[in-house]
Amino acid sequence: MQFSLTLAVADLEQTEEFYREILQLNPQRSEAGDRMPDFLLLRCGAACIVFRPLQVMEAQHPALLQNLTRHPLGVGMQLELSCSDLSAVRNSIERYQWPVLYELEDYEHQRRELWLHDPDGYLLVLNEERGES
């Protein structure tokens, strides 16, 4: 069984730039042509996140959108992503002047976290687990 999570986004290009340039991840753009609108696919191990334009989701699933547009898109959603080098991602975030909610350093469990929102308000918790020194 494969797990995928579909998230609506206001601007697919902005989402792609955020995840590729700022977070240094590699979302894959699906350009299906006339058959199907573009979407982004971000693989996370065996799971994947699918980013689809809000207007496309509204056209395909109008009942769903009645609920989606009632609140900002990211309300109640938290995505946790593991990073091998959180310092490099932090430097990129600073270079792009992207707002960070806060950073946590858990010395007991040798874990760092960086909390921020993506362009659509989805809460991201970026973490890095450090091995024993």
Q: How confident is the model at residue 74 (pLDDT cuts 50, 70, 90)?
A: confident
Is the CB of residue 66 less than 8 Å from the CB of residue 111?
Answer: no
Q: Which range marks the domain in which residue 118 is found?
A: 3-129
Q: What is the pLDDT of residue 73?
A: 77
What is the percent of the chain where pLDDT is above 70? 87
| Distance from C-alpha of 66 to C-alpha of 58, rounded to nearest angstrom | 8
Average pLDDT over residues 68-89: 83
33 class by beta-carbon count within 10 Å (0-12 exposed, 13-18 middle, 19+ buried):
exposed
Q: What is the pLDDT of residue 67?
A: 64
1 pLDDT exceeds 60?
A: yes
Number of domains the chain is built from: 1
Domain CATH number, residue 18: 3.10.180.10
Q: How confident is the model at residue 38 (pLDDT cuts 50, 70, 90)?
A: confident
Pairing of strands 47-53, 39-44: antiparallel
Is the CB of residue 95 less than 8 Å from the CB of residue 88?
Answer: no
pLDDT tens-digit profile of 5-35?
A: 999 999 999 999 999 999 999 999 987 666 6
